[in-house]
Amino acid sequence: MRQKNMRAIFAVAHNAGLDEDDLHRLISAKYNKEKFRFMTDDEVADFRAYVCKKPIAGYNPTAINGDSGFWFVEAERLTMTLPQWIKIKAILHDIKWTAAKFSNWVVSHKMVPFWSGKVEDIYPYQARGIIAGLERIRTAMIKKGLRGNKNPAAAHDKEFRESKEFKEFNGGE
């Protein structure tokens, strides 16, 4: 069953114009795993349902952040390209934004003039601007996280040296 799911995933990805790196970014965003080989059979089946947007018997994929109506749109109704929409979803998952926050951001930054709030109404040239903006936000979040933790090994070492166990081990210092 795993091989069948993998073939279906790669077929859909190929038709959508996604390469293996795009799939790995999606896996990383959705499951926090680097590659397919680290995924369980259930995760592969769930990922197939997620990529194909068709339910598989016994699997009910859940939407990112619980906003099913917004996150799952029919590919035929999209104005932007499917790879653009997949990339936007992956970034939104990484930065943990809800559909409402994304919608407010698009409107407040005038990314899509006179936007109805429907993902289907975003054109490819607008999607490129949205992706660039979301990438900058994700990069800023990553840098902020790195700045806040300058030397994690030293912080852990200091915490360990101040721990009760270390003091008892060294004769009650």
Cα-based angle 65, 70, 74 (whole degrees, multiple of 5): 125
State which amino acid sits at residue 41: D
49-78 exposure pattern, b = at least 16 Cβ within 10 A, e = fewer: bbbeeeeeeeeebeebbeeeebbebeeeeb
What average pLDDT does this structure show over 26-55? 77
DSSP per-residue codes, 102-122:
HHHHHHHTTSSTT--S-GGG-
Write down the pLDDT at residue 17: 67
Write down the pLDDT at residue 64: 42
- The alpha helices in the chain, defined as continuous H runs, are 2-16, 20-31, 41-52, 68-71, 82-94, 99-108, 124-148, 152-161, 164-169
Residue 58 has pLDDT above 80, yes or no: no
Write down the pLDDT at residue 74: 66
Q: How confident is the model at residue 63 (pLDDT cuts 50, 70, 90)?
A: very low
- The pTM for the full model equals 0.48
Residue with the two structure tokens 């407010």: 104
Instruction: Count how many residues are written for the chain.
Output: 173
Instruction: Judge whether 34 and 21 are in contact, CB under 8 Å.
Output: no
What is residue 58's three-state secondary structure? coil
- pLDDT tens string 111-165: 887 777 778 788 888 999 999 999 999 998 888 877 766 665 555 666 667 777 7
Residue 67 has pLDDT above 60, yes or no: no
Both tokens assigned to 34: 């680097």
Residue 57 has pLDDT above 80, yes or no: no
What span, in angstroms and rounded, lies between the C-alpha atoms of 86 and 13?
10
Q: Which residue has the higher pLDDT, 68 or 25?
A: 25
